[in-house]
Structure formats: C-alpha cells, structure tokens
A = this chain, B = another copy of it.
Amino acid sequence: MRETAIGIDIGGTFTKFGLTDVEGNVLMEGSIPTYTHKEIKSFLDALSQAINESLDELNEPIEILGVGIGAPNGNYYKGTIEHAPNLHWKGIVPFIDMFKEYFDLPMVLTNDANAAAIGEKVFGGAKDMDDFIVITLGTGLGSGLVTRGKLIYGHDGLAGELGHTNVYPDGRECNCGKRGCLETYASASGIKRTVFKLLATNNVDTPLRTYTYESLTSKKITEMALEGDPIALEAYTYTSDILGLKLADAAAVTSPQAIFLFGGLAKAGDILVEATKKSFNEYLYPGYKGKIEIRLSDLMDRNAAVLGASALVWSEIAHSESIRVPQQARVV
C-alpha cells in the first residue's frame, strides 16, 4: 500500500489540495474557491467533501500518513490561522481543531511560505541543505527560513516575516499598517506600484500606459519585461535592487547556503535573479561573499503549493512510526 500525505494550500482566492507520495508524485489534486465561503464551517464542509470525492476516485489502495496545511498567518505551534488580512475568517481560527472533526489524521499547519521552504527541502533544490531561505513573491512577500535543518518559528510560531522588514521608514503604505515594508516593493503588488511610479516619472513610450491600476497585473508586467519593455524592465531592476539589499540583511542573520526565489515575479527568471544577485552581492557582508547562492526554486514548474503543504507531513509526521494512521481512520 503506497504511503501518501494530503497537502492543502489555503490562498485568499483558491484553496488547492492534493495527495503526494514520498517521492513527490502527485496522485490526485483539486481546488475549491476560498473567498466564497464567508464562514469557516462552510469552507471546511466544502473542502473535506472535495478531498473525499477525489480520494474515492483513486484506483489504488493507499495509506494516508497525515495532512499538511499551508495558510496565510498560519501559527505552527497552535494550528491556528491568526488575523489573516486576505481571508474572510477574522480573529483566530482554530483550524486544526476544527479540521480534525473531518479527518482523524495527524495534522500540521504553518504559513504558506514556511510550507514552501519545507517543500524545497523535501522535494526541491534544498534536499542537501540545512541552512537556506525561501522567498515567495506572490501578492505579498513571504519567507521561510531554515537553520540547522529546521524552520525558524520564533517564540510565538510567527517568525519569518521578511516581507515586513523596513526599506524606507516613510515609504509606501503596507496592508499591515506600517510604511515602507519590503513587500510594498518586492511582490506582485509592489512591482505594479513601481510601474505606476515609473510611468509618472518617465516619458518613455510603453503599452503599459494603456492599463488602469485595477487592470494591470504583475503577470502582464513580467510578460512585457520578457519582451523587453523598458518600463517593465526598469520596474524589475528597481524591485531587484531593493530585494537584493534586504536579502543581504537576512543573510547577515542566518548565513544561508542558498536563497530560493519562488512565485509569480520569479517567472521573469534571469531578469529577476541576475539583478537581485548583483544588488545582494553589493550589500553582502564581505565575510559571506561568494558563499551564498541566489536561485529560482526547483518547484517553480511543479504543483508547489500542494508539494509544500504535503512536505510538512513527510518532514514532521512520516518519520514517527508510532503516529501512522491507516486510511480507514478517515471519516466523512
């Protein structure tokens, strides 16, 4: 019987789920909308139903070792989702406690960037590393920092908020209530803000002038950068300069072997990576020079959300023989 793990990645818009084996094969996958469920109970009903339907369609016997959940503002210690600005469910949601009523399986929950970091270690480019950082460049900027082979969770389970380190004390307004946070520059929303700033300060002709702020996406900016649009390229340079500087700061804290870049903005490939490397090495403490790699995540073209979330099970649950639970334990 093949041993498997369920991975669930909760995003503001969609929640993806899937089943992986220890080699990173995805046996089934699916998704449900997140934002339509104003109540957590209704969301959990829909999610468990979708997962069970997908499991029923599997045509091989499996054993499920556990459930890994990546969620914005996920608290590893408590299994809760706390004050997530992009989710409807306000306050502190006791996610694992509630989800255990649907699946009687070992569960582990952490924030989405931490899940990405564990995914990189279990299935990606960090397999042989004990000290590395994964940066997820999505709507915001998430970070998972691994040292001595383990995630840094801090005293409250909420460590790893590089997106909220400060670039400019009086900089751009951030959703978190502060100003000048890194994610207001280096993220999908950040690069859009930068394009609009550049459109205001330059006279360069570009099709980017035909977009409203609402209609412009970072995906479009990335496409145009790859096509050579000067404003899109300059926006990437500006983003990379700031990202490289703040990654040099982070490196001075944890001295990682590598920093992996992941997410939509990373799809620009070398345009992002080379410029970030240049800035990073300019600001890096000389004692670290030449020792720290900056590269794209190995999970870029794979089902990273599901792999990352399920990797939590392979990393933290599957190793303890004693807590393996047979599939029959699953309840509907």
Contacts and interface: CB of A to CB of B under 8 A. Distances in A.
A145 B176 contact: no
- Classify chain A: how many residues form its interface, as a range: 35 or more
A154 B131 CA distance: 6
Contacts of A164: 252, 285
A2 interface: no
B155 A257 contact: yes
Interface string A108-148: 00000000000000000000011110000000000001011
Chain A interface, DSSP helix/strand/loop, else mixed:
loop
A256 B147 contact: no
A254 B166 contact: no
A238 interface: no
Contacts of A157: 255
Copies of this polypeptide in the complex: 2
Contact of A159 (B129, B165, B248, B254): B254
A286 B83 CA distance: 11
Interface in A153-184: 153-162, 164-166, 169, 176-178
A180 B250 CA distance: 16
Contact of A131 (B129, B155, B256, B291): B155
11 contacts: A73-B287, A145-B253, A147-B152, A147-B153, A147-B154, A147-B159, A152-B255, A156-B255, A156-B288, A158-B287, A159-B254
Given A152-B152, A169-B283, 14 more contacts: A129-B155, A131-B155, A145-B253, A147-B154, A155-B257, A159-B253, A160-B253, A161-B252, A161-B253, A164-B285, A166-B248, A166-B249, A169-B245, A178-B286
